[in-house]
Amino acid sequence: MSQKKNQPTIANSQISFVRFLWQMENRIYLLGGVVIGILYYLICKNLFPFPNLWPDSFTYVQVARDHQQVSYRPVEYSSFIEFFKDFSKSDWALAMAQFALNILANLFLFFSFVYFFEIKKYLKFLAYALLLLNPLYVLYSNSILSDSFFNAATVIWFTLFLWIIYRPNFMLILLQWVFLLFAFKLRYQGVILPVVLGFALFFIKWEWWKKALTILLSIASIYYIVDKTTDTNDEVAGTKTFSAFSGWQMANNAVHILQHQKIDNDVIDDDESVQVLKFIQNYYDTAKNPLKTDNVSPTFLWNKNSPLKKYLMFYITANQRENYFKTWQELGPIYNQFGKSVIIHNPVAYIKYFVANNAKQYFIPTTEAIETYCQNMDTISPVVKNYYEFPSNKINKSHNSIYTSFIHSQAFFFTLINVLILLVSVLFLIFKRYNTQSKLFNRILLLFWGLFSTNFIFIVLLAPTVFRYHIFILTLAIPFLIYLAQVLFTKEKNTKS
């Protein structure tokens, strides 16, 4: 089949994607992925019958049980907990859905990549093994945390752009919009996706008004979610804020400065921010064993001995508040203003104590919530046991070493993949191998680096980095790394259109 002028050359342009999937080799990969997924899931639930639990998990389940409209975190994931509870009294349906979406996302990524770009058989199998045989996806899917759904949704969302850039149409644009909103409602880290979408639109051959409509639809939808959530917080908790958590997060970041140095109160105009600042600085001046951390972490958000938690208790008493959660929400905007004031007036200290350390941790992240199975606890929380009607709350810890060894190896693997993808991308530019590649590959590679960079900047500047926040980056990097290595270290036929 002849190629239209300026249309990217693809490896299988002569057949449809459906026919491509049904070729013998690909059929084996496809059916193998389904069978392997089922076996992995059954083995995982046999070894680890309880879902992996972290303090966040208890909150998610409690919100689902009580049908709460607002919580410390986005409530969308709790809605999924409720939904899958209708299919299974235990957590099996939820864990199965999480793992299934990850398998589907990785299969979609794998087959899309090998459809568009010619990959040698042994490298194709390597990509398949890393995406489908890797136990990471079943282990972290067996958790009551929003990460599994978020990462799978983001992988699908990004992979759709391979098809949109190649041949844009309304249905594909609509589908990416659905997954964009799905990811954003699960975790507000998804706010980076419209930024990447705007970047992607430069590569899409479409009329300008269609591009404008696409980005406006996404922005308007997110604005609607933000506005509706703000109104719900105001109605239920009495504070007109979109995310009180983000305010606490900003304050947590600021305390990373204050644990090391005092700052001048006079540079801050807001009275409530000054009050918080004085309280925290007094805490570090007078406490016998003030809470400090050498690494960037969220410890000041949750540790009961942190100055932010102590100010919360002071605020409750001083203002005669009775409801803990409503007061926590009320402090969100106050802490947000306080945190921004401290950071804006002390940018060098913020870079030194938060950003620089967080950047290091990005490439060597802590495994945090998924580091150990159920935090090495002997029993699970009553809220989870009762909600899922488990016959016992006793945790079998005999297989914990298997879980821990796999997860720790994945954290190392993430570091390795990041180093290698950076290295091969630089070599790809130095040796101008982009001249041998189709426009489609060069554009999707730029888009990957747009997503990588946006995620890196967002996390490093604003949130303590942990491994589970970046599994979608790890997943997407695998096929790019393998293909770039093939381009660099084998003599490739010129495929530029």
User: How would you write the pLDDT of the chain (497 residues) with one tens digit per residue?
Assistant: 334 444 445 667 678 999 999 999 999 999 999 999 999 999 999 999 999 999 999 999 999 999 999 999 999 999 999 999 999 999 999 999 999 999 999 999 999 999 999 999 999 999 999 999 999 999 999 999 999 999 999 999 999 999 999 999 999 999 999 999 999 999 989 999 999 999 999 999 999 999 999 999 999 999 999 999 999 999 999 999 999 999 999 999 999 999 999 999 888 989 999 999 999 999 999 999 999 999 999 999 999 999 999 999 999 999 999 999 999 999 999 999 999 999 999 999 999 999 999 999 999 999 999 999 999 999 999 999 999 999 999 998 889 999 999 999 999 999 999 999 999 999 999 999 999 999 999 999 999 999 999 999 999 999 999 999 999 999 999 999 999 999 999 875 544 43
Distance of CA 156 to the CA centre of its chain: 13
Q: Which two tokens stand for residue 402?
A: 């298997």
The reply to whether 8 falls in a domain is: no
Q: Domain span at residue 279? A: 244-361
Residue 400 lies in a domain: no
Number of structural domains found in the chain = 1
Closest CA relative to residue 248, chosen from 324, 334, 321, 184: 334
Residue 339 lies in a domain: yes
Q: Are 8 and 497 in contact (CB under 8 A)?
A: yes
Asked if residue 335 belongs to a domain, the reply is yes
Beta bridge partner(s), residue 366: 466
> Is residue 428 included in any domain, yes or no?
no
- C-alpha radius of gyration, the chain, whole number: 24
* Residue 249 belongs to some domain of the structure: yes
Alpha carbon separation from 363 to 171, 260, 344, 350, 410 (Å, rounded): 37, 24, 26, 19, 12
Within a 10 A sphere around the Cβ of 404, how many other Cβ atoms? Answer: 16
333 assigned to some structural domain: yes
In a domain, 158, yes or no: no
The CB-based long-range contact list for 282-290 (8 Å cut-off, 24+ gap) reads 283/307, 283/310, 284/258, 284/259, 290/259
